[in-house]
Amino acid sequence: MSQPVLGSSNIQCSTAAAAMMMVTARTEEHCIIKGFSDEVVEIPIDPRDSLDLVQQRLIELPAGDTDCSLPMIDAINKKIKDIDVFVIYTDNETGVGKCHPFKALECYREYSGKRDVKLIVCGMSATRFSIANHDDPYMLDVVGFDSAVPSIISRFAIGQI
């Protein structure tokens, strides 16, 4: 996550991800914020935290292979059934572990009994990738990151696009 955001030479992916996590913590009444590589880790974020503090917490996360199925698998393992949208911010790492992320989302949907749970994956320094099942209207791949992305994510999450 130390790579620059696509199109920017001085904003790292970790900084953009930290800012987006802060926005989520400040605007969503109910949210779960976690980090992952090859394991899922709690990231305690208070809406009053500074960007520097949140970014430092990201830097301290254990490094490992990126498995984008882990957020859905973790929700199932933790018996959390009320998630409406999974949002993943990554640099360009979108690796697949034991289970493809869109299959993990399908498993979570079955577990939760909610067929319209969404998955948004934002590869902030990626030029090409695909995690979403393009036949599924509740999955979105975002390639790159600019000032339009937060609005796109928000509008997709609430069903406006």
107-143 tens-digit pLDDT? 999 999 999 999 999 888 866 777 888 899 999 999 8
Q: pLDDT digits over 25-50, tens only?
A: 999 888 999 988 778 888 889 999 99
Between 66 and 107, name the one with better pLDDT: 107
Task: Cite the DSSP H helix spans in the chain.
Answer: 13-27, 51-59, 70-77, 101-112, 149-157
Q: What is the pLDDT of residue 145?
A: 84
Q: Where are the domains of the chain?
A: 13-157
SS3 state of residue 96: coil
Could you tell me if 140 and 121 are in contact, meaning their C-beta atoms sit under 8 angstroms apart? yes
Q: What is the pLDDT of residue 70?
A: 92
Q: Phi and psi at residue 87, in whole multiples of 5°?
A: -120, 125
Confidence of residue 94 (pLDDT cuts 50, 70, 90): low
The pair of structure tokens assigned to 26 is 């400040």
- pLDDT over threshold 80, residue 93: no
% residues pLDDT > 90 (the chain): 47
Q: Is 24 exposed, middle or buried (0-12, 13-18, 19+ CB in 10 A)?
A: middle
* Rounded Cα–Cα distance for residues 33 and 54 (Å): 11
Q: What is the CATH number of domain 13-157?
A: 3.40.50.410
Between 114 and 58, name the one with better pLDDT: 114
* Rounded Cα–Cα distance for residues 91 and 112 (Å): 29
pTM for this prediction: 0.89
